[in-house]
Amino acid sequence: MKTSLNDIHFIEIPKISDPDGRGNLSVIEKNILPYKVERIYYLYDVPSDSTRGGHAHIKLQQSLIALSGSFDVVLDDGKKREIVTLNKPNKALYIAPGIWREIENFSSGAVCLAIVSEVYKEEDYIRDYQEFLNFKSDRQH
Ligand code: T46
């Protein structure tokens, strides 16, 4: 399937605010994400001048959530680039396969949760930007 930045969207995660002021609880039920979850991982203690990502996935779909703090996600479909700031624990950013992403500008204490559709496979990564552009120029992706 050919993907573009139009395939990226936010998913609102239900938030239950405690009526007695005990804070919020958010829950991700299994049907809230548009894929079956195979793996969860998270980035934390990332220095503010570091960049994570810098790759695209061939098959993997994922949702990123700023569980704490904030960070920017640079998204690129080979034609267009956009930057999305994540800073709400009840908002997930869905990223389709075939999208280059870089994650940067981490605030102090930021935690980036990734909920993904595949087990870890290095063969699913495109880590070279020129290779990514070649991949996208193939009509299939
Ligand atoms: C993504 C962003 C948001 C594993 O052994 N198992 C795993 O499940 C993962 C995710 C990584 N690793 C190893 C592979 C590398 O030796 O951990 C090391 C760091 O991985 P990477 O350089 O891919 O980390 P990021 O932060 O650049 O990217 C990760 C995910 O790989 C990627 O899917 O979208 O977080």
Q: Give me 137's structure tokens.
A: 């120029």
Residue nearest ligand 1's atom 7 by CA: 120
Shortest CA distance to 98 belongs to which of 72, 65, 75, 74? Answer: 75
Q: Note the pLDDT tens digit of each residue in 84-119.
A: 999 999 999 999 999 999 999 999 999 999 999 999
Q: CA-CA distance, 72 to 117, in Å (whole number)? A: 22
Look at residue 67 in the predicted model and tell me its pLDDT: 98
- CB-based contact 35:96 (threshold 8 Å): no
Look at residue 120 in the predicted model and tell me its pLDDT: 98
Which atom in ligand 1 lies closest to the alpha carbon of residue 114? 3
Instruction: Please state, rounded to an integer, the average pLDDT across all residues of the chain.
Output: 97
Mark whether 9 is an active-site residue. Answer: no
pLDDT cut 70: percent of the chain above it: 99
What contacts 8, CB < 8 A, 6 or more positions away? 75, 84, 93, 94, 95, 96, 99
Q: Note the pLDDT tens digit of each residue in 49-82.
A: 999 999 999 999 999 999 999 999 999 999 999 9
Indicate whether residue 113 lines ligand 1 (CB < 6 A): no
Return the ∠ at Cα 13 (arms to 6 and 103), rounded to 5°. 55
Per-residue confidence at 45, pLDDT binned at 50, 70, 90?
very high
Look at residue 76 in the predicted model and tell me its pLDDT: 98
Positive or negative torsion for Cα 98, 124, 127, 85? positive
Shortest CA distance to 113 belongs to which of 49, 39, 56, 47? Answer: 39
Indicate whether residue 97 lines ligand 1 (CB < 6 A): no
What contacts 24, CB < 8 A, 6 or more positions away? 15, 16, 17, 18, 89, 90
User: For the residues 2-19, what does the mean pLDDT come to?
Assistant: 97
Tokens 């700031």 — which residue?
A: 85
Residue type at 52?
R
Look at residue 20 in the predicted model and tell me its pLDDT: 97
User: pTM score > 0.95 for this model?
Assistant: yes
CA of 18 to the centre of ligand 1 (A): 35
Per-residue confidence at 140, pLDDT binned at 50, 70, 90?
confident
